[in-house]
Structure 1
């Protein structure tokens, strides 16, 4: 209970901070007044068109990635697992890259996010086709790795053959991940998919707790492993696909957050789901605030910041896992 109160309070404070921090130095009270009561001044436009969408996307994407990471680690019973294992982030990125390269993203307002969502949908069906309806968790991982490798190869091929250096530059910067210049349109595109994904993943709590005893014990307790895996894959795909569609690639959130919070919930996968949702939202909100504070006049990417924070923690996790195995 105390952990939930702390995380909720932390997310609320970071959300309000995200609404205030920006190139235009404004106080909290005038900013909130402009947000809730509107007006004709520039501050109201900044709050409604720039800061509110950015804060909402950070909250949604961080929460979704955190829960997806906790669910994936609970299902595979491996703290090194992360949502990108099923390959959906790679295929979503490939769809967005193709939209940028072909000019669809520039000609059609929803071209890029819809192409990324289409790529995510193709990716999840490809993974399920390769893994089969009754395949093991190892088969699912191998299918995801294969799809990720293929998507990465095709993305590199598009960049290699790109005749337009400006399109290639845009692709590279988009793949770094960012919440800058996003609007409420992006919020409404991502919201239904992220909510659907979180709703599916939230139903896994009992099954993940039972899986700590092994698959045979979980089945003896009445857990349907096929249904559990389908909800895991489609829930993760909805979250990852929507997040990648509107913000590009933002890594390490689903890997680092569950690892940090696991000792605080007694290593119970069911409790870790919601704790990681709040923790993921806090991490992405913090990283996005840091982007605006570290280089306010530059174009530091959100995905770069999360990687700089997550990679050392990931190496520390590998080191601890190695020590425990000795």
Structure 2
């Protein structure tokens, strides 16, 4: 007889299609929003290859790439957060908290500082990936040896501080004001002025990173039972950690390279998904990715709707939303470390 789902929980099969439909709806709304007044009929005609040439250019060159990137990057951040929380058995882990995003940012800033990004477009995402890999490589040994989440989080703070110092050094030694402005605005995070070229640059790396993570879903379930239990089930923990770390680094590195620093999505998305799934980490991967896509898509719509003289930066909005949620997680009675 099939098990009856726990009251108040939505099991993964119906949850995933619902979230997928919601992500598609958010993507469609994103295409509708912009400074140029286009009606739904004009946008529909442009998507079908008809209508005015200007409308087609706006839809295909500006709005559609931006909508796609918001969903792709949000999904990668949400998936990475869920994977790291499962790997480290730490519900407060995400690419930003453990320094991965900061390390990726440093790699991208180096590419901007030396002008490599202008000479070779692929250099920016590749150097961001390299930075993320270096940051995670420093943390994995600590994660395996630490007896609790506090050591890992403190190590992540140290990695973030070191990467931040490198970024500050690049700003300090920038050869001209234009370089300073380029780095500073990129670090705030934004999807404005992104094109299909950015989609083509980011999508393969994000897909590769997501695939590496999803292939380790069963191993993450084994780790939830403890390291000894996972080994008895035949999982090579060193290999699992390396593959998940590589997936996070590749995917987040590509995301950061395109969007700049986007914080808190990787933390908030798994936190919102977990109450609607069972305790297996694998069951939270897809919902976390879809919730991340919805959150970042909505945030990107919000920055265009808020009436300001200059469009708000996406990283600023996600931080303003995510920071209170992060504090709420810490203040919960059953939060990690509560009452200790």
Structure (1/2) with the larger helix percentage: 1
* Structure 2 gap segments, 5+ residues each: 1-12
- 1:169 matches 2:173: no
* Structure 1 gap segments, 5+ residues each: none
Deviation at 1:231, TM superposition (A): 1.3
Q: Distance in 2 between matches of 1:291 and 1:78?
A: 31
Normalising to structure 1: TM-score of the pair?
0.90
Distance change (3 Å), C-alpha of 1:65 and 1:29? same
Deviation at 1:151, TM superposition (A): 1.8
- 1:247 matches 2:255: no
1:271-282 alignment, distance < 5 Å: 271-282=283-294
| Partner residue in 1 for 2:7 | none
| Partner residue in 1 for 2:4 | none
Deviation at 1:260, TM superposition (A): 1.1
> How many residues were matched structurally?
322
1:52-201 alignment, distance < 5 Å: 52-85=64-97, 87-105=99-117, 107-108=118-119, 110=121, 114-125=123-134, 127-128=136-137, 131=140, 136=144, 138=146, 145-201=157-213
| Partner residue in 2 for 1:11 | 23
Deviation at 1:18, TM superposition (A): 0.6
SS in 2 for 1:325: coil
Q: Distance in 2 between matches of 1:137 and 1:12?
A: 41
Deviation at 1:142, TM superposition (A): 7.1
Deviation at 1:38, TM superposition (A): 4.6
Normalising to structure 2: TM-score of the pair?
0.87
Deviation at 1:304, TM superposition (A): 0.6
| Partner residue in 1 for 2:322 | 310
- 1:293 matches 2:305: yes
Deviation at 1:238, TM superposition (A): 0.9
Distance change (3 Å), C-alpha of 1:313 and 1:109? same
Q: Distance in 1 between matches of 2:315 and 2:138?
A: 30
Q: Distance in 1 between matches of 2:120 and 2:192?
A: 16
RMSD: 2.4
Contact kept, 8 Å, 1:31 with 1:43, in 2: the verdict is: yes
Distance change (3 Å), C-alpha of 1:129 and 1:4? closer
